[in-house]
């Protein structure tokens, strides 16, 4: 790709705007990252009347409007993330999704959180393929093919596809601790459930001929953060996977997010984003298998023994969860504003350490202990993103690690791409 690859933020007045805080969609290279859509009518700026069915329909209508505003369709969606305040509402959301989708189904992540902005019962976000790419002086042909696949060795779901690849990335549906043979939760506790989630991911990857160390980002949703040590013990038996990865000590970027509910009554689910060195057709054969994963850490931001701060592949960097601790491991003094500022300072340090800037950030996920502190967070956020360019998600979760008020993670553009193997 040409070095003029550029971050492209866009908005349409036909869908709700979050002016000054986020963009509806931010494209870079062959992907668009959309801000989470609330069930707000653009004409009124207020929540739609009705219950979960009406709210879910408005969220998807807003996504459709944003996507069509950039000359794409809902069939270009790679992943949908459905965030609820009551996991029991998932069946109603699934029914509404059936109104918008036919034969093709994106990958899906479903979870419940403590609260959503404006008191909504649901918000939905999307990652969308961008066949034309974002090179201003050399538009790319829009003929890249999306590849959606399911394998028999992992649990299937009538409302999603296990794996959807586009260009050099592959998104997997969040995996629950479901035994693919019985279709039910595995017996046992958190260790057995975590093992099953990761085994399901591995089965999908083996079914599509992808090595486990192609994972660049893992997100773990947990009902109880007290389960983290048990999860880590299992996690360390899966990562690093290969001899090469063990020699390099490679670990994906990672975020652990507390939730209030998961499908099927699970205690844990795991979402994975994979590198896809082959690319999707019709990328040239000589371009295949020529990209490497670049994992980077800097001493200017806190490190974590179970993850890498930033993992780049092709034209994206995936950043691990950011907590409000400085590089010495000290929690910043102050409240939500100061903690949000420290998370963003850590993001800036990581991004700059790999030769980028905050202008390259395309998506930020924000997890807060109390949405009542959102104004404080916004004040800090505006200091780092005064133009509100990144797409964004904001949710209130039941707990955050070490009792902090704010946590964030991010996706960053990587214009130079990653080099071929030597």
Quick: pLDDT tens for 58-117: 999 999 999 999 999 999 999 999 999 999 999 999 999 999 999 999 999 999 999 999
Instruction: With CA atoms as reference, report the closest residue to 63 among 89, 115, 100.
Output: 100
Superfamily of domain 1-140: RutC-like (3.30.1330.40)
Asked whether 407 and 321 are in contact (CB, 8 A), the reply is yes
Q: Give the DSSP H or E segment for 128.
A: strand 122-129
Instruction: With CA atoms as reference, report the closest residue to 310 among 255, 365, 237, 384.
Output: 255
> What rounded mean pLDDT belongs to the chain?
93
Work out the pLDDT band at 11, boundaries 50, 70, 90. very high
Spell out the domain ranges in the chain. Answer: 1-140
CB-CB neighbours of 139 under 10 Å: 10
Work out the pLDDT band at 295, boundaries 50, 70, 90. very high
Rounded distance, CA 214 to CA 199, Å? 15
Rounded distance, CA 26 to CA 32, Å? 6
Looking at residue 2, its pLDDT comes to 42
Per-residue pLDDT tens over the stretch 122-172: 999 999 998 878 766 555 556 788 999 999 999 999 999 999 999 989 999
Pairing verdict, β 107-112 and 77-84: parallel
Rounded distance, CA 366 to CA 327, Å? 20
Rounded distance, CA 344 to CA 385, Å? 9
Beta bridge partners of 164: 148, 171
Share of the chain above pLDDT 70, in %: 95
Looking at residue 135, its pLDDT comes to 67
Work out the pLDDT band at 422, boundaries 50, 70, 90. very low
Per-residue pLDDT tens over the stretch 187-230: 999 999 999 999 999 999 999 999 999 999 999 999 999 999 99
Per-residue pLDDT tens over the stretch 387-411: 889 999 999 999 999 999 999 999 9
Looking at residue 387, its pLDDT comes to 86
Looking at residue 421, its pLDDT comes to 42
């Amino acid at each position: 790709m040409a070095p003029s690859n550029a971050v492209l933020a866009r908005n349409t007045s036909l869908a709700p705007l979050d002016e000054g805080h986020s963009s509806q969609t931010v494209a870079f290279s062959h992907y668009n990252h959309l801000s989470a859509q609330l069930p707000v009518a653009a004409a009124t700026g207020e929540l739609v009347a009705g219950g979960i069915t009406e709210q879910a329909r408005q969220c998807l209508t807003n996504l459709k409007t944003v996507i069509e505003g950039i000359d794409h369709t809902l069939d270009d969606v790679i992943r949908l993330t459905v965030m609820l305040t009551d996991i029991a509402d998932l069946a109603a959301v699934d029914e509404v999704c059936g109104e918008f989708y036919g034969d093709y189904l994106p990958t899906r992540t479903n979870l419940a959180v403590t609260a959503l902005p404006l008191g909504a019962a649901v918000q939905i976000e999307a990652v969308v393929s961008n066949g034309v790419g974002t090179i201003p002086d050399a538009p790319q042909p829009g003929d890249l093919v999306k590849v959606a696949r399911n394998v028999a060795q992992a649990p299937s779901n009538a409302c999603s596809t296990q794996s959807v690849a586009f260009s050099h990335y592959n998104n997997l549906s969040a995996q629950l601790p479901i035994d693919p043979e019985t279709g039910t939760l595995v017996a046992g506790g958190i260790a057995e459930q975590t093992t099953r989630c990761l085994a399901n991911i591995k089965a999908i990857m083996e079914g599509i001929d992808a090595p486990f160390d192609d994972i660049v980002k893992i997100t773990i949703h947990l009902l109880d953060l007290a389960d983290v040590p048990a999860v880590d013990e299992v996690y360390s038996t899966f990562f690093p996977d290969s001899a090469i990865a063990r020699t390099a000590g490679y670990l994906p970027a990672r975020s652990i997010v507390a939730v209030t509910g998961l499908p099927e009554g699970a205690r844990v689910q795991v979402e994975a984003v994979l590198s896809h060195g082959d690319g999707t057709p019709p990328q040239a054969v000589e371009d295949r298998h020529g990209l490497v994963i670049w994992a980077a850490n800097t001493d200017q931001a806190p490190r974590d023994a179970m993850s890498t701060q930033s993992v780049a592949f092709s034209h994206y960097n995936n950043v691990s969860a950011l907590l409000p601790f400085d590089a010495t491991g000290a929690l910043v003094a102050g409240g939500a504003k100061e903690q949000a500022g420290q998370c963003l300072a850590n993001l800036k340090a990581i991004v700059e350490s790999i030769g980028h800037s905050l202008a390259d950030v395309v998506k930020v996920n924000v997890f807060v202990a109390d949405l009542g502190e959102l104004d404080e967070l916004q004040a800090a956020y505006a200091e780092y993103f005064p133009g509100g360019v990144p797409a964004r998600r904001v949710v209130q979760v039941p707990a955050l690690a070490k009792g902090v008020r704010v946590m964030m993670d991010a996706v960053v553009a990587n214009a130079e791409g990653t080099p071929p193997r030597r």
